[in-house]
Amino acid sequence: MMKTITAAVLAGTFAMTATAEANAWSRDRSVSGANGTASMHASGGCSGGTCSRNVTRTGPNGNSYFRSRALTCQEGGSCSGSATTTGPNGNTVTRQGSVNW
């Protein structure tokens, strides 16, 4: 079941990639509360069959969290992607995966 869901999500992403070539975007948000201000900056885009997204979140105490994701799809139904996350202490986790259908 998981492979079917993943394939469907990647297929949808590939369809968006084909129609969104070279589209770039960014978003900035901040929220203020009793503990201070937290902020988020996100950016991404698609070009040449690859879509990427980068997000940086900073909490009210100044700690930051960064995540970078990329997905590349080839004609014929093959997609691969990766995600790298770096936490406030500098520890980094990278995940990779691929699907063919």
Per-residue pLDDT of the chain (101 residues; tens, 9 = 90+): 444 444 444 445 444 444 444 589 999 999 999 999 999 999 999 998 899 999 999 999 999 999 999 999 988 889 999 999 999 999 999 999 999 87
Contact assessment for residue 42 and residue 50, using Cβ atoms and an 8 Å cutoff: no
Contact assessment for residue 76 and residue 101, using Cβ atoms and an 8 Å cutoff: no
Quickly tell me which residue has 């691969």 as its tokens: 80
The two tokens of residue 24 are 């770039």
Q: What is the pTM of this model?
A: 0.70
